[in-house]
Every structure is written in C-alpha cells, then in structure tokens.
Amino acid sequence: MKKTIIETQQIEIIEAIICDVCEKEYDSRLEMQEFLEYSNAAGYSSVFGDMNQLSLDMCQHCTKKLLGDYIKVSKYKVNHVSV
C-alpha cells in the first residue's frame, strides 16, 4: 500500500519573451519557440571582459535580419523507418 499526500507546488512559466534587439514582446508560443537564446561565460582575454556572463534573446525576425547571411539553412530530413 502506498501512503500519499497532496502537495501544491509553484512552477515558473514563461508567458512572454522580449527581444533584446527590437525590444518587441512576444507571447505567442510559435514565436517564442523560434527565439535565438544564447548564454555563455566569456573566457580570459575576451572582448566582453574576463569571465563575464553573456546572454541574448533575439526574435527570429532580428536573427534573420542580422545573421541571415551567415546562417546555414537546410531542409529538414525525416528518417523513415520500415518495420
């Protein structure tokens, strides 16, 4: 026999993301899933300063505008498995 209790927990849910470039707020799940999210610690002798924390949230529109010429885009390939 299992003895149980009912417990209430709080969870953090992202309701919107603000683009760090255009500063537009997006609350659509479809838009939010396309954000470029970058987080990294700068290394020694970094142009950003030794061991500083870097972070960026960029919407897909700004990503395409600023980085589109450098991003390699290829068709998504689905692996078909025969059973």
Predicted confidence band of residue 44 (pLDDT cuts 50, 70, 90): very high
Residue pLDDT, tens place only, 20-43: 999 999 999 999 999 999 999 999
Question: What's the pTM?
Answer: 0.76
Q: What is the predicted pLDDT for the residue at 80?
A: 73
pLDDT at 57 over 70: yes
- Beta carbons within 8 Å of 72's beta carbon, 6+ residues apart: none
